[in-house]
Structure 1
């Protein structure tokens, strides 16, 4: 029985990281709009999982975790292809400048207009890391540093999306179901890491990820359900000030904001 539980847990772990991106992928395909999704999420996960694979060659860990990295790299490449394709299709400006990796322009980094540029960068990055491993692979400190970089980078998974939402003061276009799945998946992974006694870096990574993802879910409530935001967007100028004053008093005397925020969050999670 114990073997069955371990087997199912390992299989779940392998695909748990990829499943949350299904709602976001569907949203992009249905709306043909990728502006709500930050491609830097893909960058973080691609770099983190490449480093994790490099770390495995220096200090082997459980095979399900290694398989998870390969699966995640494939999923992120698929997401990148979808986003780049949609954005190029939506670019109506005839004179829009093409950006690619071979221009070696720092300001264009990870904002290239062709999918090939992303693949080229990842190949160069992988080759560079592999070369370092060949040279310093016998150095324990170097290997452990690679492991720490891998998990810390992955722990910052939600930061690009958090910053994207913060700048726009909105979570429009972002799949809340995706973030909710991130959170539940990372909770499962963190428990798995602790129970299976894998390198400590993985458990630390899981805890940091869950914290950031909870902050993103809080943004959904703050930005999408803010009563002030609703009034500003829906009321005419002549009645806006009066309505804002009335709403401020109402919110201070009740749990309207919290209740409506939680209900809105649950509704967006269940709407895939």
Structure 2
């Protein structure tokens, strides 16, 4: 009897380990899935108006900050890897949008990050300008983190700031849809993927006792996803 119980416990432990591993894989790569159909749609139609590159800005800032937050407060390695994958995904989206806009551009006036003109912030012509911004922002964050790593207030504030940018990432898309009176380039399927992903992500945060900033971020994202879904539907 004891042998059977032991075998059953081992089977349950093995199943839980497999489930936990699968959940971690979904967390790392699941956030990129909603952007795959949008990437394909932009590539097919050569139209970028339906996608707000401000989403890329928010996600790049959020995930760069999250990496430095991890240095001060080691949470799950899964969430660190998720940040790296998301940064790569956002750079890929920006690269595509820059290529499409370069092909469709009528105005020959060039705008670059090094111009330091706030009027055209995040509206630069070359993909290299976006890379330069990310590099400069990363160096600044690295300097401040090394300087203030022993400060609990700084580390917690860094985490809260990272999650704030992550939580409001849907706001630029929400605003662009409202201003354009259109959700062209978006689909119900894509927004449902966003919503399902954020629900899963929030549940993962709660079940794994992630820092409270992650849980608050997930809840806010779900509300914004629902608002975007209503725009697409109506």
Please classify the TM superposition score into its range, dividing by the shorter chain length: over 0.9
Give secondary structure in 2 for the equivalent of 1:170: coil
1:188 is aligned to 200
Task: Determine helix, strand or coil for the equivalent of 1:35.
Answer: coil
Kindly state the Cα deviation for residue 39 of structure 1 after the two structures are TM-superposed: 0.2
8 Å Cα contact 2:68-2:141 kept in structure 1: yes
Q: Does 1:19 align with 2:20?
A: no
Aligned: 1:113 with 2:103: no
- Quote the RMSD (CA, aligned, Å): 0.9
SS at match of 1:60: coil
Please list every run of 5 or more consecutive structure 1 residues that lacks an aligned counterpart in the other structure: 223-272
2:73 alignment counterpart: 59
Whole-angstrom CA distance in 1 between matches of 2:194 and 2:17: 26
Q: CA deviation at 1:35?
A: 1.2
Scaled by the length of structure 1, what TM-score is found? 0.79
| Aligned mate of 1:139, from 151, 157, 174 | 151
> For 2:195 and 2:232, how far apart are their aligned partners in 1?
14
Q: What corresponds to 2:55 in structure 1?
A: 41
Alignment partner, residue 166 of structure 2: 154
Contact 2:187/2:232 (8 A) holds in 1: no
SS at match of 2:33: coil
Q: Would you say how many aligned residue pairs link Structure 1 and Structure 2?
A: 220
Residues of 2 paired with 1:180 and 1:134: CA distance?
A: 40
> Within 5 Å, which residues of 2 pair with 1:90-101?
90-93=104-107, 96-101=108-113
Unaligned runs of 5+ in 2: 1-14
CA shift at 1:175, angstroms?
4.2
Q: CA separation in 1, counterparts of 2:188 and 2:148?
A: 42
Q: Is the 8 A contact 1:25 1:79 kept in 2?
A: yes
Deviation at 1:97, TM superposition (A): 1.0
Structure 2 length normalisation: TM-score?
A: 0.92
Superposed displacement of residue 169, structure 1: 1.1
Work out which of the two has the higher radius of gyration on C-alpha atoms and give 1 or 2: 1
